Structure 1
Amino acid sequence: MNWVYLVLAGLFEIGWPLGLKLSQTMSSKILGIAIAIVSMLLSGILLWFAQKTIPIGTAYAVWTGIGAVGTLIIGILYFGDSASVLKLLSASLIVIGIVGLKFT
């Protein structure tokens, strides 16, 4: 169950930079900022639950990896960020590292 908490924490980790970006692109900045704050809170709480049995180094690396790669994908798909081969290859190395941490 703690790995489920960790994955959810990583997904909410995507929410706070997304909320900040939305606050810059929407007419009402409040909604984007609220999304960011709620995402930060939920991400932190879920990470706290996950660390009850998952080592801190593993939990933190997986949490930030999910957040980084997820945010990269959101940026490419929805905000027109560049998707160079090197950028995608680098992101795939992060995913490989996350999977490696899960199975070691």
Structure 2
Amino acid sequence: MSINWILLIIGGIFETGFAISLGKAQHASGKEFWLWLISFAVCVCISMFLLFKAMGGDKAIPVGTAYAVWGAIGAVGTVLMGILSFKEPVTFWRMFFLSTLVISVIGLQVVSAD
């Protein structure tokens, strides 16, 4: 696995961070609200920078693949954190389609390998 894939995975994790920060900000007020918004801004900046870095250099990941994988990592992470943090429902169909998303991301990585 190249450094670009590692950067992309970390960027996807920070995408989860910015989505969860927005969700937490919706349920906060006062100082806590502003801390969640700062968390959102920091996570967005880091996530976007890592996506940018993953698409450049010697082992650049094609933009379509990078964006799809980055978004999927963020989506899967956000669903899982939503279940843990916001007590969102765990249903068969949610988990089924989440699984197909993971399988698709793995497939993209395999077909995009050097």
Query: Is TM more than 0.5 here?
Result: yes
Rounded to whole Å, the distance in 2 between the matches of 1:42 and 1:83 is: 30
Rounded to whole Å, the distance in 2 between the matches of 1:13 and 1:78 is: 16
Q: Structure 2: which 5+ residue stretches go unaligned?
A: none
For 1:81, the equivalent position in structure 2 comes to: 88
Rounded to whole Å, the distance in 2 between the matches of 1:23 and 1:101 is: 33
Aligned identity (percent) is 38
For 1:36, the equivalent position in structure 2 comes to: 40
Q: Structure 1: which 5+ residue stretches go unaligned?
A: none
2:28 paired with 1:21: no
2:79 paired with 1:72: yes
Which of these two proteins has the greater Rg computed from alpha carbons? Answer: 2
Q: How many residues align?
A: 104
- Listed one character per residue, the Cα deviations across residues 4-63 of structure 1 (whole Å, up to 9, x for unaligned) are 100001000001111111112234200110111100000000000000100001000000
For 2:61, the equivalent position in structure 1 comes to: 54
Match of residue 105, structure 2, among 87, 98, 103: 98
TM-score of the superposed pair, with normalisation by structure 1: 0.97
TM-score of the superposed pair, with normalisation by structure 2: 0.88
The amino acid that maps onto 2:109 is K
The amino acid that maps onto 1:15 is G
